[in-house]
Amino acid sequence: MSIEAKFHKLGTDNAPGQEVRQAGSEAESRFHGPKLDGTPVDFSHGDVDAHTPTPGAFDLFQQGVAIGGAQAYTEYRGDQQIRALLAPRLEEFTGAPVDARDGLMLTPGTQGALFLAVASTVDRGDKVAIVQPDYFANRKLVEFFGGEMLPVQLEYEQAAPDEAGLNLKQLEAAFKAGARVFLFSNPNNPTGVVYSADEIARIAALAARYGASVIVDQLYARLRYAGVNYTHLRAAQGLPENVVTIMGPSKTESLSGYRLGVAFGAPAILTRMEKLQAIVSLRAPGYSQAVLRGWFDEPEGWMSARIQLHQQIRDDLLEILRAVPGVTARTPMAGSYLFPRLPRLTLDPADFVRALRVQAGVTVTPGTEFSPHSAASVRLNFSQDRAASAAAMHRMAELIERYRA
């Protein structure tokens, strides 16, 4: 395979945030009806102007700058003192020990952690179990390193309300077929479902039995709605040896502009990740690392208020969407993604996504980014201004009617 072919598979044209690079399209000749007025809403990512960064984040950054050289040039795996500060907090949050020296790394965003973790576990020809649907970069990462993807379906639409719906038989079949790594997000991106304690226990048992490494992306694990139980894989009984957990403050805490994430777990994998970090971008941005001092140490009540407001927006949007005949949507248990299934339309899914943006000022991410079987769905990050997002949802409802088949 040529390098051109290798990169052809890394398409980003429909990736969230890249819409600005799309040129005009002949698809627009199939659009009809007037443009719908209203504040444009970009549901491809959260709005950090509507839900502002954690209080004190900028001050911590400023303190990092004041520290100077020691904060600018940290170990590749990140500042030792900050790791020592975070380890007990992550330990408390996840219910299992975190080794600040050898078992924790600061990364340039959660994306940075994912890239390093996959690069450190997946080599050419390795089989990797990947959930469908799941975060769109997972598939691309495996393909980039020459791995072979073994898909495992997440039957979230059929699952019980307290389960994610992972097809565990398919997961076991993937391990039997030789999958060395299982990579998944919990809460799931894009559906917002959370794996039950039983699902997590069975994933841990299967990975242990077949000797597989597990990379679990828990980016949204703090933004959980009322009544939802969350089980950390790393605290499961009979855990396999090679587990890496990934988190970061870019979403719930709105700190994406600082480019921060963490990876913690198996030292053997983290050692490889650090070696690779040394040639990828040296370290998580030095001064930004200081912002992590405030992570898991937010003002009293801040996190619960943020969760409550997101739950209200979630419920607003679900009510509007579910009033549209043929639209179905499972209620997200955590995170800020909605993944509704739309009825049959006269435009094909990609063109409808474009019509939403061009005619209604509503930017969403096509379902096919997350699974080849999700063409009828779109993903919306509802971490938005409450009134603007409700109005945008009404415009989306109107366009669904306009293009209903």
What residues make contact with a copy of itself under the rule CB under 8 A? 1-3, 6-7, 10-12, 15, 17-18, 20-21, 45, 47-49, 52, 58, 61-62, 64-65, 68-69, 71-76, 80, 107-109, 111-112, 114-115, 120-124, 126, 137, 140-141, 144, 256-259, 271-272, 274-276, 278-288
Contact 299, 55 (CB under 8 A): yes
DSSP 175-232: HHTTEEEEEEESS-TTT-----HHHHHHHHHHHHHHT-EEEEE-TTTT-B-TT-----
Beta-strand pair 213-217/179-185: parallel
Q: Select 141 or 342, whichever has its Cβ closest to a copy of itself.
A: 141
Residues 185, 172: Cα–Cα separation, whole Å: 18
Closer to a copy of itself by CB, 117 or 318: give it.
117
- Residue 10's contacts (CB-CB under 8 Å, 6 or more residues apart) are 140, 143, 144
26 contacts: CB under 8 Å, gap ≥ 6: none
Report, in Å, the least distance between residue 226 CB and a copy of itself.
Answer: 27
Closest CA to 23 of 368, 365, 354, 367: 354
Angle between helices 168-176 and 197-210 (to 10 degrees): 10
Distance in Å, CB of 120 to a copy of itself, minimum = 7
Which residues are CB-contacts of 265 (< 8 A; sequence separation ≥ 6)?
103, 234, 242, 243, 244, 245
> By C-beta, is 62 or 229 nearer to a copy of itself?
62
- At closest approach, how far in Å is the CB of 239 from a copy of itself? 21
- Kindly tell me which of 143 and 316 has the beta carbon lying closer to a copy of itself: 143
Minimum CB separation of residue 221 from a copy of itself in Å reads: 20
Residue 67 or 397 having the CB closest to a copy of itself:
67
Name the minimum Å distance from CB 207 to a copy of itself: 17
- Taking the complex as a whole, the smallest distance from the CB of residue 327 to a copy of itself amounts, in Å, to 27
AA identity, residue 88: P
- Residue 234: closest CA among 94, 60, 35: 94
- Identity of the residue, 40 or 238, whose beta carbon is nearer to a copy of itself in the bound complex: 40
